[in-house]
Amino acid sequence: MSCHNQEEVRKGESHTLLVGRPNVGKSVVFSKLTDRHVQSANYEGTTVDVLQAHISHKQKSHLLTDAPGVYLLDGETETDQLTHHWLEQPNTDLVVVLDGTQLERELPFLYQLLNKQKPTLVLINFSDLAMKRNISVDVDALSEKLGVPFLMIKATDNDWVEKAKEQIFSLKTQDVNRTLPPLVEALRTIKREPSETLWSDRLNHLLIHPVYGLFFLFFSMALAIGFVVGGGKAIRSVILLPLVNGVWRPFIEGLITQLTSDGLLQQLLIGEYGVLIKGIEWPFALILPYVFLFYIILSLFEDTGYLARVSVLLDGLFSKMGLPGQAIVPFMLGYGCSVPAILGTRTLRSRKERLMVTMMVSVGVPCTAQTGAFIALLGDRSLLALGFVFLMSIIVIVFTGWIMHKFLKTEREPVIIDLPPLLMPDRTAFIKKLTYRMKHFIFEAEVPMVLGILLAAFLVETNALVAISSWIEPVMVNLLGLPKEASLALLLGIIRRELAVMPLLEMDLTTLQLTTGAMIALFYLPCLSVLMVIIKEFKLRFGILVFVSTIGIALVVGTLVNQIGHLVL
């Protein structure tokens, strides 16, 4: 079984398209049907690209395509157009996922799809929530009126999967020359009885309240920061660093000393920047704990539906920059990694909004690896300096957004934010998501980091760094107040942003110098992988603009911090 992006349907191959509005649980349905883990979350825009995998039933195989959630079949966003493209493919069956708690709003969307005259199966999700709200659906009557099969499901369970597969593999026999009754007749199959106000409804009103909601946001963010910073430092100092310094270092140094003679190879492996020492200590002992704890918090915010409510709460603030509240989602993803954040901008309504958010994320949003590096650099020296770094991040992000809003003259379009239900995270799905993200981080971030450390060892041991340092010494020493050896940080930062921080740990620097170095690393070039995604999404010219802007902002802010710091301190 394979899971991949945008495979063209081979001639004669059975193909089924999974389609629905945002927040209906499509990604969970896809995961259950294909037995493959995909990123799913309880907010709009989780799926921004086409995901595909083969499903099997009784020795037969179908290609299942999960299209991005859309409100309109003729919408103008990139995700709308992508879904429309797949809907127009010939010989394609449909599996439509609806929200069982909002069927009155979902049925008009279903009617649009049924008018495509394609074999269709309808899955009504959140059946458990519908029951709690005293919502009942006469599924048999609805199926008879519309001429398509319906299944009531709770997507996170498994009891519906085999029956759904059986229906999917029999769709080709369905008569698609259907005549739809008036919508009002279909709506009569839905009954709502009075029900008690659920705790989730009360909590929902609290979370989006303009006063109480902000208080809860600040409180939850404070708890999250304390959890990540405090927990990460505890894991690092109590478990990981003792293992690295007390067990791994003596073992590997003894082994390499026995196997190699003193020379370049030995220094590359266990020298000042030895890849078998720093390549373990920096990525795994200093950064990984913070990444792990951050992803726990992010996954909780996503799966409970709280992140969608934050977008409502901050909609007014974002409107000052010409952005909708949904823009908070790419920003939050950016604190994990900028690549999914930039891809997540596809759900925004205009290209200008996408450009703005991409520039703001690229300039000032530190990824989780960077955040871990900053904490390792300043957490033990000065929490005030650490807080100042993150405050400057917010200031520069807002300033960049304001400048781009004025420059691009963006006019914000009215946006309706569809809130998903508040849910308790499914334990199995939560663990799968966390495991997936950690694996992705290790292969996508840790491996390049280790290669960067190997490059650092080579530059230091071959004295190539001395020649390079002499070229940029005026900038490093005179403007930024850093020793010329810190030029290594700028070189490594081209590979991964957090590598612009790590060499500073090995130098005897003042708090001001550490803060200046952190500030440069914060606004420095995006990682190579991020820059490639920017160029792919927005072409070379915008990629060059991001490249030049980040270097300029890093040098200007770093210089100001150094010069003002010397005047004040």
Cα(419)–Cα(44) distance, rounded to whole angstroms? 8
User: How far apart, in whole angstroms, are the C-alpha atoms of residue 406 and residue 398?
Assistant: 12
Residue 533 phi/psi, 5-degree rounding, is -65, -40
List own/partner pairs for 176-181 with CB under 8 A and 24 or more apart.
176/117, 176/118, 176/119, 177/117, 178/114, 178/117, 178/146, 178/147, 178/148, 180/111, 180/114, 180/115, 180/146, 180/147, 181/145, 181/146
Note the CATH architecture for domain 3-196. Answer: 3-Layer(aba) Sandwich (3.40)
Q: Are strands 150-152 and 120-125 parallel, antiparallel or unpaired?
A: parallel
| Residue environment code for 177-212, b if the CB has 16+ CB neighbours within 10 A, otherwise e | eeeeeeeeebeebbeeeeeeeeeeeeebeebbeeee
pLDDT value for 266 = 93
Dihedral of alpha carbons 489, 494, 497, 499, sign:
negative
β-bridge partners, 349 = none
Give the number of other Cβ atoms within 10 Å of residue 35's Cβ.
Answer: 12
Cα 480 from Cα 472, distance rounded (Å): 11
Q: Which residues pair with 191 in a beta bridge?
A: 136
Please state the domain extents for the chain. Answer: 3-196, 212-415+428-568
Question: What confidence score (pLDDT) does residue 41 get?
Answer: 47
3-state secondary structure of 303: helix
> Going residue by residue through the chain (569 aa), what tens digit of pLDDT does each one get?
344 445 555 555 678 999 998 888 888 898 888 877 555 544 455 555 677 888 888 878 888 988 888 887 877 777 778 888 888 888 889 999 999 988 988 999 999 999 888 999 999 999 988 888 889 999 999 998 998 999 999 988 889 999 999 999 988 777 777 778 888 888 888 888 876 667 778 888 899 998 999 999 999 999 998 999 899 999 999 999 999 999 999 999 999 999 998 899 999 999 888 999 999 998 899 889 998 999 999 889 888 888 888 888 888 888 888 888 888 888 888 888 888 889 888 878 788 889 999 999 999 999 888 998 999 899 889 989 999 999 999 999 999 998 988 887 756 566 666 777 888 887 877 888 888 888 888 887 788 888 888 988 898 888 888 788 788 888 888 899 999 888 888 888 888 888 888 889 888 899 999 999 999 999 998 888 889 889 988 999 999 999 999 999 999 999 999 999 988 87
Given this model, what pLDDT does residue 43 score? 46
The pLDDT value given to residue 12: 52
Q: And the tokens for 339?
A: 């690549």
DSSP, res 262 = S
Is 49:68 a contact under the CB 8 Å cutoff?
Answer: yes
3 state DSSP class of 137: strand
Task: Provide the Cα torsion 267, 269, 271, 276; round to 10°.
Answer: 180
Rounded alpha-carbon distances, angstroms, from residue 569 to 368, 519, 561, 562, 563:
30, 17, 11, 10, 10
Specify the pLDDT at position 4: 43
How far is the CA of 13 from the CAs of 8, 129, 331, in angstroms? 10, 37, 39
User: In 409-475, where does DSSP find H-type helix?
Assistant: 427-441, 447-461, 464-473
- CA 427 to CA 303: how far, in whole Å? 10
**Predicted model pTM:** 0.78
Identify the three-state secondary structure at position 66: strand
Q: Phi, psi (5° rounding) for residue 40?
A: -130, 145
Q: How many helices (H) and strands (E) does the chain have?
A: 27, 9
Q: What is the pLDDT of residue 391?
A: 94
Q: How many CB atoms lie within 10 A of CB 251?
A: 10
